[in-house]
Structures are given as structure tokens and as C-alpha cells.
Amino acid sequence: MKTYITLLVLMLMLTSCSGKVEVKKKNLIPLPKSASADAMKWIPGKYLLAGISEKTGSIFTLDVSSGKTKRLAELSNSKSTNDLFQKLCIFPDGRKIAYTDSGSLVFLEIESGKIKRIRTEGNPVFVCASPDSRFLAYASPKGVFIITLEGTGNRLLSKDPALFLQWSPDGKKIAYVKQPEGKVKIYSVEGEKLKSFTDGAQGLLWHPDSKKLLVAKALEFGIADAEEGSYFRLAYFTTLPNPAGTADSTWLSLSPDGSKVAYNFGELNPQLEKNDKGKEEKVYYQENSDIYVLDLKSGKAVNVTGTPDDWELYPEYSWDGNYIFCYRKRQSGKDYVLTPMLIDMR
């Protein structure tokens, strides 16, 4: 009965998502372009964002009220750091940052700037902290490990090549995406394999109840039941008509209470172009991207940026849900310029 009711509710949500989306433009607040980074995350309990930038080779904070930035640390070899968002972890206590730098795992105290490097098994490629901020899980080519902040108890959880590690809010489980097939796997922190389901996942987030996961795929996202292993599609990232194509990004952010999902969505429009044989065919281009918020209870999606001539990407809910951080993308000559933005959701 539980499974049937869940399926019915999610089917109703999906049906409503496919209808016309309402546009409710929120106040957009531009932030200094100097604060642009490869990855930005909110520091819990503060109106501060922590960023990691390959361009400047640094870790820094951004005060959203003043627009001021503060450099915390230098990356020893910024050119060797790719997928920087994966390598930046803000501890739930809001006091520490963990990141990887030249194959090392680094702890940084935000207030004092004190840095500690610890030895790991292989080069870390993804890190996440436990809800009590006492432990860290990391993924390396040798598998998934759990380690203390003192660098002790380096314990193997799984030998899988993994990305997108996520510690459940109740502190009992760790979920990740196994590469390369994109299978979602869940382990207890003691090392017991609990569930394995779906393929093609490119990201995931735990719901606050620790019973559900929000799963991102190439063209869609949905809810996965962590106990039953089922998956139901909620919405699309784009109106892409070609299943072989990809959307601009598969980026999700869950509101603090778990009731809403922020994502970027782009319409695609066809253009006639000549192929290699000189024959005209339709080619689809994504011409813009807005930030949408989907209510998980009603299934209603709202466009909160509504800027047809600009792109808004990579939404990140603040710790209290009052703001969404994102980037605005505009073309400048042959290049694109990213401007950090705040969406006022109050």
C-alpha cells in the first residue's frame, strides 16, 4: 500500500510538472565579478559563501551583504585541480572547509585560517563531511574511505570508483554514484551495502528525512526511495527532443526543509543547418537557461528569474532558504562572462 500511494503521488507531481510553468520573477542581486569562482557553497549559519577558484588559485569567502571577499588559502597547484565543486566541502558546523589540493586532503579552519593536510589512500576526488562534523568520507581511485579529522582510522567503505558522495542527515548512511555506469549505491557507515539502483545518475542529494534521494540524470531528475530502491522522474532539465543529446547542466539544490528543488532549465529551439552531405536538417540549440523552483508537494514549478536573453545556472539554496545563489551567463564578444547573483526568495 505504501509503495502504491507513493507512486500515485509522484505520478500526479509529474503530470503537473508537464503543464505550463508560472513565471514569478524574484529580485536578482548582482555580486562582484571578482567573486566568480569554479565552485561556491554556503557556509551554514552565515551569509557567507566559500569559493575555490582555479583562475586565482585560491580558496576565499564572499560576504553577500557587503560583496567583500577574503582570501583564506592558496592552492599549491591550481592547474591540476579539475571538477573543483566536487573537491570543496563545507562542514555542517560552519567552522571548517575540506578540499583536495595536488592529491592531498586539506582541512581549513575558516576563522583562524589554520591548515592541516592529512594522508589518504590515493588522490581524493570527492569529499563530504558527517552531519556532526567529526568525520569525513572521501573517494579516490582506491575506493570510498571514512577518516577522522585527525587523519586516523582511515577505513575502507567500498572499492567502487565513486563520485558525488553524500552523507545522510541522520549520519547513518553514505550514498554515491558508482562510475562509469552511474549507479546509485548506499552503504551504512559501518560498511554494510544497503541498496543499489538506477543507472545514468550524474549527481544526488539526500532529503532531510534520510529516506529519499534526489537524483540528477543527463536530461531529468527524480526522487529515489533509499529504502525500496525505486526511482520516479519529477521533471526535465530541458525540452531537448533528441534523447542522445545533453542539457547544459544537471544541477540541483534542495531547500533546507526538503520541500522544494531549485534547478536550471533551458528551452531548445530548432535551426536548419546543412550537414556534411549538404542536406538541410534540424539542429537544436539551447538558447537560454532560467532558475526554476519545483514544489515537491504540489508538483508546481515556478520560473524565478525569467530572463529570456540571459542564462542563469548552478543554483545553491542558502542555509535558511532565504536566498538562492546562482551565476548569470552573458556573451561578451566571442567569450562568456559569469556574474555571481543572489535570488531573494523571501
Identify the CA nearest to 53 among candidates 76, 86, 78.
78
| Phi and psi, residue 27, nearest 5° | -70, 125
| Phi and psi, residue 4, nearest 5° | -65, -45
Q: Which amino acid is at 345?
A: M
Identify the CA nearest to 316 among candidates 266, 263, 265.
263
CA distance 25 to 246: 27
pLDDT interval class at 2 (50, 70, 90): very low
Residues 176/168, Cβ–Cβ less than 8 Å:
no
Q: Is the pLDDT of residue 34 over 80?
A: no
Give the torsion sign (CA, 264, 34, 39, 332). positive
Query: What mean pLDDT, rounded, does the chain reach?
Result: 84
pLDDT interval class at 20 (50, 70, 90): low
pLDDT at 86: 63
- In the three-class reduction of DSSP (H, G, I as helix; E, B as strand; rest coil), residue 109 is classed as strand
Per-residue burial over 28-60, b = 16 or more CB atoms within 10 Å of its CB, e = otherwise: beebeeebbbbbbbbbbeebbbbbbbbebbbbb
CA distance 54 to 56: 6
Q: Is the pLDDT of residue 226 over 50?
A: yes
DSSP secondary structure code for residue 5 in this structure:
H
pLDDT at 148: 92
CA distance 140 to 235: 32
pLDDT in tens, 292-316: 999 999 989 999 999 888 889 889 9
Which has the higher per-residue pLDDT, 34 or 77?
34
Apex 25 CA angle, 20 and 31, nearest 5: 135
| Phi and psi, residue 191, nearest 5° | 110, 5
CA distance 84 to 326: 16
Whether the bond into 256 is cis, omega within 30 of 0? no
Mean pLDDT along residues 25-40: 86
Distances (CA, A) of 225 to 157, 242, 294: 22, 28, 18
pLDDT interval class at 125 (50, 70, 90): confident
Q: What is the DSSP string of 245-268?
A: S--S---EEE-TTSSEEEEEEB-E
| Terminal Cα-to-Cα distance of the chain (whole angstroms) | 38
> Within 10 A of 169 (CB to CB), how many other CB atoms are there?
15
Cell reading at 193? 551495502
Which has the higher per-residue pLDDT, 13 or 343?
343
Residues 100/82, Cβ–Cβ less than 8 Å:
no
pLDDT at 225: 92
Give the torsion sign (CA, 196, 198, 201, 203). negative
Break the chain down into helix, strand, coil percent, rounded to 5: 10, 50, 40
pLDDT in tens, 89-119: 999 999 999 988 877 889 999 999 899 998 8
pLDDT in tens, 167-206: 999 999 999 999 999 999 999 999 999 988 888 898 899 9
Percent of residues, the chain, with pLDDT higher than 70: 85
Spell out the domain ranges in the chain: 1-30+245-346
Q: Is the pLDDT of residue 15 over 60?
A: no
pLDDT interval class at 47 (50, 70, 90): very high
Q: Residue 274 half-sphere exposure, CB side, CA atoms within 13 Å? A: 4
pLDDT at 103: 78
Cell reading at 127? 569529499
pLDDT at 309: 82
Residues 290/264, Cβ–Cβ less than 8 Å:
yes
